[in-house]
């Protein structure tokens, strides 16, 4: 077979089927429908198998991308899954939510002339096939006697837990909420990442022997020091996410009907407020919804609002579409579904009625001035351009600050903004304690958090490996007298494999 | 799953649950709260920890049945049953300062949660004046527990059937009058009660700490639903509180925000009442503490 060249491969990326926008705003089913077998093979053939492999360097977790694509070309799908599983335990998730255009696909040599190879779509195809076929990749694990604690069952924690479990450690993830998954569960809506996919991928983590204790607020139930000294964990990874949503401090923020995107999405995704009153958690949403911010979280909030029956949904952003931090695909989907974008618009005041309920917004038009510190052109208010419009719900999606709990309850060194300080190897100021993800970087992406979790796992292995065997204090895992109390009576909420959970 | 080991009825609407959770009992401090889910499809509700026992490995919750979830708990949470979720202790523990003389005020659903604070102040050697308020004599609970840790106890009832007739603010005023050297007041109860306690102490410039009870979802600082205005700044009650300087809190805003889901709460309670064939009480449902 002659070598493939830019000229011989299919000039267009294989399209992925999607639900019609008019139809999909009435349901929470997934918007994009994934590749068929034929689609996947077509698209895999577009990979030039170039020797430089820039895509691999573009991947935060270093997936052997040409390797798994070659397996698809060879129709060895199980083999493709094995290649993926070497680097990521969650291909069905990453294939959906990674910003591939900035990573593997952005680096793909094909982009020099054509649309890049649809790497994310291919990854999702294999990830979904693995779930459907029940494939799992459980390496032979030799227990090494080390106990590792992971704080937070989000993307960073899951990635770190999986690597440490594969290395033979006895891994326990502690999660504050009643369900694992972190932002994958409470944040990203089902139409973009179904919770069934999250659960299925998470099952693979449990199959590695990782234990997950839900309803456990580390820092308050026990401290980091107690995790090590009382509960006998040899190393700890902190991946608690960013949390603590920002507000602007403009008048009217305390009105009823103003909420953070985190609250809105948590009510809808984690607590299923859309099914109120069959579910207990309510959501009070008006007909007209304004979302402040234009990142991926803003897109998620707007698209949830549309699905829950909002008639008009506005996106207010003080810069232009070009500066918007959302993925192109998310912006496109939001537009198709009917979101009304108000670029170069900043809110000045939230207006309320006599019942202290939001009744409108007063905004001002902006224009772009000189570049600021972020190298983006600074938005400047246009004098006398303020205007009012009616809305009933205002959702803030302008980012988050660091969650203060770990700082309040430990001696970890934090930076000025309250995020945990780590070195290049994800080590914190406390020996044996590592951190990664949003609690280190501030709000970022799922895949960057997973990359940080994997990098921390490598560092943690080095940390545990350098310990002399005779120094190693391998504790009795039961530790019945930890804390000086009889902990055998302690009930945790052990998260079990789906389907095996007894009905409550 | 967290087993209910004991239950006690205080009145038609108020009851106590003692729940097994040894680590939580060990970790709990005065002023902290937990989040409870009764069942998997339930809501997350914050409840202040009323007591904890390391020896028994339990925490105690005193619950007023006012909304759907708390009435459901009143009707269905029996000894031996399991709570679906129980997480905590949440919030910054109350600061138990080295004060010589303190008033601990509890009204309504605040009577139980102020108890651990009164006990902690007593253990620190303070002279503790308890002021607890009830509608009438029949609704009084924990009088003996309070007598054990208080040097003086003023019981206030709306109808005068026990103690002094009047609101807890009357009890506070009486205590301030007879003790000019009071250094701190702790007030826990419905927002309107805490507001007027703060107003009672303001002219005397007595430091007054209150424990706020806004609507919460996660309780870990993630959603911001519990934000309150304190001294003109936004604070998240779950991680920055729940204790704040009562003289700085915007109680009117707190009360308005507690009404955020009034219509939905009513709907949920009515639906539940119909489903359980309960006679609908004529009380307004509101968010449980």
CATH topology of domain A21-133: Fumarate Reductase Iron-sulfur Protein; Chain B, domain 2 (1.10.1060)
- In chain B, the residue whose alpha carbon lies closest to the alpha carbon of A492 is B1
The pLDDT of residue B160 = 87
The pLDDT of residue A99 = 83
Smallest CA–CA separation between B220 and chain A, in Å? 8
- Determine which of A180, A182, A217 to mutate to test the interface with B (most B C-beta atoms within 10 Å): A217
- Contact: A485, B57; criterion CB under 8 Å: yes
Scan for tokens 């506005």, then name that residue: A314
Exposure b/e, B29-40, CB count within 10 A at least 16 = b: bbbbbbbbbbee
Question: Where residue A406 falls among pLDDT bands split at 50, 70, 90?
Answer: confident
Question: How confident is the model over A126-138, as a mean pLDDT?
Answer: 88
Sign of CA dihedral B146, B147, B151, B157: positive
B257 chain-A contacts, CB cut-off 8 A: 254, 256
Instruction: Give the separation between CA A142 and CA A139, rounded to whole angstroms.
Output: 9
Beta bridge partners of B52: B59
Scan for tokens 């033979």, then name that residue: A168
Sheet strand arrangement including A211-214? A433-435, A235-238, A147-151, A170-174, A211-214, A493-494
- Contact: B217, A271; criterion CB under 8 Å: yes
Task: Just give the CATH number of A248-400.
Answer: 3.50.50.60
Sign of CA dihedral B114, B117, B123, B129: negative
Which segments of chain A belong to CATH 3.50.50.60? 147-243+402-464, 248-400
The pLDDT of residue A501 = 39
A281 chain-B contacts, CB cut-off 8 A: 43-44, 217
What average pLDDT does chain A have? 88
CATH 2.40.30.10 assigned to domain B2-90? The reply is yes
Of B23, B222, B257, the CB nearest to A243: B222
Phi, psi for A260 (deg, rounded to 5): -80, 155
Q: Determine contact, residues B134/B163, Cβ cutoff 8 Å.
A: no
Beta bridge partners of A315: A291, A341
- Options 3.20.20.70, 3.40.640.10, 3.50.50.60, 3.30.70.20; which CATH number does A147-243+402-464 get? 3.50.50.60
Per residue in B20-46, pLDDT (tens digit) is 999 999 999 999 999 999 998 899 999
Smallest CA–CA separation between B176 and chain A, in Å? 34
- Contact: A262, B222; criterion CB under 8 Å: yes
Residue B281 in this model has a pLDDT that exceeds 60: no
Exposure b/e, B102-111, CB count within 10 A at least 16 = b: bbbbbbbbbb
Structure tokens at A38: 């034929």
β-pairing, A32-34 with A17-18? antiparallel
Sign of CA dihedral B236, A358, B249, B284: negative
Of B1, B41, B90, the CB nearest to A279: B41
Question: How confident is the model over A437-452, as a mean pLDDT?
Answer: 88
Per residue in A307-336, pLDDT (tens digit) is 999 999 999 999 999 889 998 889 999 999
Smallest CA–CA separation between A403 and chain B, in Å? 6
B230 chain-A contacts, CB cut-off 8 A: none
Q: Determine contact, residues B86/B57, Cβ cutoff 8 Å.
A: no
- In chain A, the residue whose alpha carbon lies closest to the alpha carbon of B234 is A249
Which residue in A403, A283, A249, A445 sits closest to B222, CA to CA?
A403
Which residue in B130, B129, B160, B158 sits closest to B142, CA to CA?
B130
**Length of chain B measured in residues:** 289
Per residue in A16-57, pLDDT (tens digit) is 988 998 889 888 889 989 999 999 999 999 999 998 899 999
If DSSP codes are grouped into helix, strand and coil, which group holds residue A308? coil
Sheet strand arrangement including B101-107? B164-165, B152-157, B127-134, B101-107, B184-188, B207-211, B243-245
Structure tokens at B198: 């703060």
Spell out the CATH class of B101-258.
Answer: alpha beta
Q: Determine contact, residues B156/B164, Cβ cutoff 8 Å.
A: yes
B46 chain-A contacts, CB cut-off 8 A: none
Question: Where residue A496 falls among pLDDT bands split at 50, 70, 90?
Answer: low
- Contact: A215, B267; criterion CB under 8 Å: no
Q: Determine contact, residues B250/B269, Cβ cutoff 8 Å.
A: no
- In chain A, the residue whose alpha carbon lies closest to the alpha carbon of B233 is A249
- Determine which of B3, B18, B23, B242 to mutate to test the interface with A (most A C-beta atoms within 10 Å): B23
Which segments of chain A belong to CATH 1.10.1060.10? 21-133
The pLDDT of residue A273 = 87
- Contact: B86, A215; criterion CB under 8 Å: yes
For B:92-131, CB contacts with A below 8 A are: 92
Of B20, B86, B88, the CB nearest to A220: B88
Domain boundaries, chain B: 2-90, 101-258
β-pairing, A433-435 with A235-238? parallel
- Determine which of B221, B228, B254, B260 to mutate to test the interface with A (most A C-beta atoms within 10 Å): B221
The pLDDT of residue A42 = 92
B220 chain-A contacts, CB cut-off 8 A: 176-177, 217, 243, 403, 405
DSSP string, A388-411: EEE-SEEEE-S-B---SHHHHHS-
The pLDDT of residue A107 = 92
Instruction: Indicate the pTM of the whole model.
Output: 0.88
Per-residue DSSP letter, A105: H
């Amino acid at each position: 077979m002659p070598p493939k060249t830019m000229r011989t491969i299919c000039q267009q990326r294989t399209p992925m089927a999607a639900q019609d926008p008019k139809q999909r705003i009435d349901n929470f089913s997934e918007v994009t429908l994934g590749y068929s077998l034929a689609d996947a093979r077509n698209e895999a053939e577009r990979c030039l198998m170039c020797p430089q492999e820039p895509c691999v360097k573009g991947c935060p977790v270093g997936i052997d991308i040409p390797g798994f694509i070659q397996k698809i070309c060879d129709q060895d799908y199980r083999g493709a899954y094995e290649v993926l599983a070497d680097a990521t335990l969650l291909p069905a998730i990453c294939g959906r939510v990674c910003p591939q255009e900035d990573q593997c696909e952005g680096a793909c040599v094909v982009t020099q002339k054509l649309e890049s190879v649809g790497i994310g779509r291919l990854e999702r195809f294999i990830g979904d096939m693995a779930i459907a076929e029940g494939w799992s990749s459980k390496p032979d694990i030799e227990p090494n006697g080390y106990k590792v604690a992971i704080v937070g069952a989000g993307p960073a924690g899951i990635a770190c837990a999986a690597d440490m479990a594969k290395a033979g450690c006895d891994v326990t993830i502690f999660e504050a909420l009643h369900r694992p998954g972190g932002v994958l569960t409470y944040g990203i809506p089902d139409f973009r990442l179904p919770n069934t996919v999250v659960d299925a991928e998470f099952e693979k983590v449990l199959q590695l022997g990782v234990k997950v204790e839900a309803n456990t607020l580390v820092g308050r139930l026990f401290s980091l020091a107690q995790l090590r000294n009382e509960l006998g964990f040899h190393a700890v990874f902190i991946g608690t996410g960013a949390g603590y949503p920002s507000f602007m401090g403009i008048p009217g923020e305390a009105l009823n009907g103003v909420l953070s995107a985190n609250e809105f999405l948590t009510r809808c995704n984690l607590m299923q407020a859309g099914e109120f009153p069959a579910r207990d958690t309510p959501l009070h949403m008006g007909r007209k919804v304004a979302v402040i911010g234009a990142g991926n979280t803003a897109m998620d909030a707007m698209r949830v609002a549309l699905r829950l029956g909002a008639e008009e949904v506005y996106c207010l952003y003080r810069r232009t579409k070009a500066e918007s931090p959302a993925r192109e695909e998310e912006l496109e989907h939001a537009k198709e579904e009917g979101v009304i974008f108000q670029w170069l618009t900043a809110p000045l005041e939230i207006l309320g009625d006599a019942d202290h309920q939001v009744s409108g917004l007063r905004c001002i038009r902006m224009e772009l001035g000189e570049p600021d510190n972020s190298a983006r052109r600074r938005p400047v208010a246009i004098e006398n351009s303020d205007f009012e419009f009616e809305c009933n719900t205002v959702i803030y999606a302008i980012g988050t600050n660091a969650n203060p709990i770990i700082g309040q309850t430990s001696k970890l060194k934090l930076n000025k903004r309250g995020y945990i300080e780590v070195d290049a190897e994800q080590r914190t100021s406390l020996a044996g304690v590592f951190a990664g993800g949003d609690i280190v970087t501030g709000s970022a992406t799922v895949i960057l958090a997973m990359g940080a979790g994997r990098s921390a796992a490598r560092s943690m292995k080095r940390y545990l490996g350098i310990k002399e065997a005779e120094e190693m204090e391998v504790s009795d895992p039961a530790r019945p007298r930890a804390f000086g109390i009889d902990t055998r009576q302690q009930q945790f909420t052990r998260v079990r494999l789906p389907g095996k959970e007894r009905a409550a | 799953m967290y087993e209910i080991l004991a239950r006690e009825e205080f009145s038609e609407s108020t009851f106590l649950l003692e729940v097994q959770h040894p680590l939580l009992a060990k970790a709990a401090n005065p002023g902290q709260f937990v989040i409870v889910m009764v069942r998997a499809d339930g809501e997350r509700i914050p409840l202040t920890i009323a007591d904890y026992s390391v020896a028994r490995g339990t925490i105690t919750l005193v619950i007023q049945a006012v909304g759907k979830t708390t009435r459901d708990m009143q009707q269905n949470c029996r000894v031996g049953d399991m709570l679906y979720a129980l997480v905590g202790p949440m919030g910054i523990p109350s600061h138990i300062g080295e004060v010589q003389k303190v008033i601990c005020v509890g009204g309504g659903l605040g009577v139980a949660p102020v108890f651990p604070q009164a006990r902690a102040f007593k253990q620190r050697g303070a002279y503790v004046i308890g002021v607890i308020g009830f509608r009438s004599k029949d609704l009084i609970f924990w009088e003996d527990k309070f007598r054990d840790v208080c040097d003086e106890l003023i019981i206030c009832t709306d109808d005068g059937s026990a103690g002094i007739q009047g609101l807890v603010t009357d009890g506070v005023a009486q205590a301030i009058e007879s003790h000019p050297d009071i250094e701190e007041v702790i007030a826990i109860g419905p927002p309107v009660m805490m507001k007027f306690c703060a107003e009672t102490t303001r002219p005397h410039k007595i430091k007054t700490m209150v424990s706020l009870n806004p609507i919460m979802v996660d309780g870990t600082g993630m959603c911001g639903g519990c934000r309150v205005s304190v001294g003109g700044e936004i604070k998240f009650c779950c991680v920055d509180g729940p204790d704040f300087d009562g003289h700085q809190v915007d109680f009117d805003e707190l009360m308005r925000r507690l009404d955020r889901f009034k219509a939905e709460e009513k709907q949920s309670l009515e639906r539940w009442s119909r489903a359980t064939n309960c006679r609908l009480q004529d009380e307004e449902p509101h968010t449980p503490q």
